[in-house]
Amino acid sequence: MNNLFDEAFAKIAEANTIAISSHINVDGDALGSSLGMYHHLKNIGKNVDIFIDSVIPENLRSLPSVEEINNKKFKDYDLVIFTDAADEFRLGANKNLVHEYELKSVQFDHHEVNTRFAKTNIVCVMSSASELVADYLFYTDSAITQDMARCLITGMYTDTGKLSFSSVTPKTFSVISKLLEESGINIETVTYPLYNSVTKKEFEVRKLGYSKIEFYDDDQIAIVALSYEDICKLDIELFMTKSLVDLALPLKTIKVVALMTEFTPNTVFCSFRTKGNVSAKRLAMVYGGNGHPNAAGCKMRRCIFEAEKKGVIENAKKLIKGTL
């Protein structure tokens, strides 16, 4: 890892103009890692633009310099940096940067399935891309400003379910501790905006989500299925439905949760969550999707919603039995 950090450091030192990008449907880690890097590069005097193909969720809109995202026109860059994207398709409309800057790109990512699409691929499995960016900043003895700390801790908090997932290691805590210490910020400047910014519409979506939960197989399986009609009634964005997959997860008996959202007619976005050694990834792969052991997803095209829903329930039952 240190060799790669040295390589990135040399490339950044040589570059004056730098573009940063991260993945579609941004989450706290995509924004935290890319904006954390943005603040670092600005701090060392670089000319930096940031492009992300996504709507910004309400609770992340107070991150420092979030308004700079997509605020500039593309120009020629000396270097492009990608964060938190496992493959080029995750960059959405910005994936052309991968080919245009084939020889002048660095990526920071923490997904095991990363396709190594950049020239310098800093890929290491850990809690979050934000933790990896923090590692880089510490390794290169960079100054840690309040803005950097806020962004990076946001990424680490959100990608780990408030530091509760198995991906959290002792180092994750020491990185947070060091970021707090060096920047002098209080943790509440990160957590308060994150967890107290739910909009009324998102609340309505949650209410709908609770009303749509169906249980199967002695309450081991829960499914939340939102039809295109449901989506139209509330006039919602796809990212607002994301958290619905977690609603049934705290139930003691649950082993598999599926969220199925027919966001456009006959196209269904699915998220799966599982507990213990029941594999969400295995279920997603049946439908050409992918993911992590306990969190995975897939997209179904040209499908009949009700039929797919029945299919998912059947496959979830097989998954629990170990016959999928």
Shortest spacing between CB 303 and Mn ion, in angstroms: 28
Nearer to Mn ion, 129 or 295 (CB): 129
Q: What is the DSSP pairing of strand 256-264 with strand 290-291? A: unpaired
Shortest spacing between CB 113 and Mn ion, in angstroms: 12
Which pairs from 86-91 meet CB under 8 Å and 24+ separation? 86/111, 86/113, 86/114, 86/115, 87/113, 87/114, 87/115, 87/117, 88/115, 88/117, 90/23, 90/24, 91/21, 91/22, 91/23, 91/24, 91/53
Shortest spacing between CB 213 and Mn ion, in angstroms: 27
Shortest spacing between CB 114 and Mn ion, in angstroms: 11
**Residue nearest to Mn ion as judged by C-beta position:** 29
Shortest spacing between CB 159 and Mn ion, in angstroms: 4
Orientation of helix 129-139 relative to helix 28-43, angle to 10°: 20
User: Does an H or E element contain 270, and which?
Assistant: strand 267-274
Shortest spacing between CB 108 and Mn ion, in angstroms: 10
- Report the half-sphere exposure of 204 (CA within 13 A, side-chain side): 10
- Residues binding Mn ion (CB under 5 A): 29, 84, 128-129, 159
User: Distance between CA atoms of 130 and 157, rounded to whole angstroms?
Assistant: 10
User: Distance between CA atoms of 260 and 257, rounded to whole angstroms?
Assistant: 10
Buried b (16+ CB within 10 A) or exposed e, 231-267: beeeebeebbbbbbbbbbeeeeebbbbbbbbbeeeee
Shortest spacing between CB 218 and Mn ion, in angstroms: 34
